[in-house]
Amino acid sequence: MKIKDNGQPLPVQIFSPWANIIVKFKMPDVTFKDLEKLYNHTTKNFKSFGSQLVGQVEEEAEVTQEIQNEFPEWCNFCLSCVNNFVYSQHQVNFAAEPEKMGNPNDLVSRINTMWFVRQRPGEYNPMHVHTNCKVSAIAYLKTPKQQIIDIKKHYKSDGRVTFSNNTGTDSNFANYQCSFEPVPGEMYIFGARQHHMVWPYRSADPNDERISLSFNADVTTKSSLEQSNKEAEKMYEDMKKMKESEVKNDKSADVSNINKSG
């Protein structure tokens, strides 16, 4: 953005403290191969994750913790993406107050849940958010080969992933939604409370699949974690002392004054 005074450019700073970002990128080839291997392993004998999800999708395979442990490279990549997303979001939100931005090396994240979504024509995910986590992601493994194009070319939606704005209130300067066409190898990272949906699609082949992976993650800081651990340890010690005091003052345990007859 350039603003001029008598033909001379003026220095300008732009701030967006209430913006929610969506990060989109192409995965490295080696990472995409790890994703393929993870899918093949998970779907050999998978446990359905669908009961915990809102998607009108028949096959949603959970990537259990045990399976995640077998694919450390993939999981470490995901955690790195989470940390980078959080710091990028902080750079946007706290540009005017950099002292609040924090240190990216202080971030600690963990994966809460992970699952594959295997969609067929007509299946979809309605508008929703993810709960009990802070960051979510979608990675695309496969998209339909014979998808039928949208009936109305001026509004393409079939098979797309749409993010809907959940904070902007100014209709003149806020876009209420943005949509992307899924592409194998591409990944999206976004805040878990970001509203999003995946539209159904039509295809000449009734078994034309769209396969993606989703995961939810929590993130905190090492300093916050250390403080929480200290508070938990103190609470444990306080409870321990309280129980010891209760036992010490419990007169019912004193049998020295019981009269004996006989």
**What percent of the chain stands above pLDDT 70?**
90
Q: What is the mean pLDDT of the chain?
A: 87
Residue 149 CA, chain-centre distance (Å), reads 30
**pLDDT value of residue 260:** 53
Token pair in block for residue 114: 């992970």
Q: Are 20 and 174 in contact (CB under 8 A)?
A: no
> Helices in the chain by DSSP H: which ranges?
29-42, 65-70, 72-93, 222-248
C-alpha to C-alpha distance for 102 and 93, rounded to whole angstroms: 12
Give the residues across from 22 on adjacent strands: 190
pTM for this model (two decimals): 0.82
Each residue's pLDDT tens digit, 24-83: 999 999 999 999 999 999 999 887 877 778 888 888 999 999 999 999 999 999 999 999
CATH number assigned to the domain covering 17-225: 2.60.120.620
pLDDT for 193 beyond 90: yes
The Cβ of residue 87 has, within 10 Å, a number of other Cβ atoms equal to: 17
**Residue 187 in contact with residue 140, Cβ under 8 Å?**
yes
210 closest CA partner among 33, 60, 52: 60
pLDDT tens for 6-18 read 777 888 888 888 8
Domain spans of the chain, in order of start: 17-225
* Digit-coded pLDDT (tens) for 112-163: 999 999 999 999 999 999 999 999 999 999 999 988 888 778 888 889 999 9
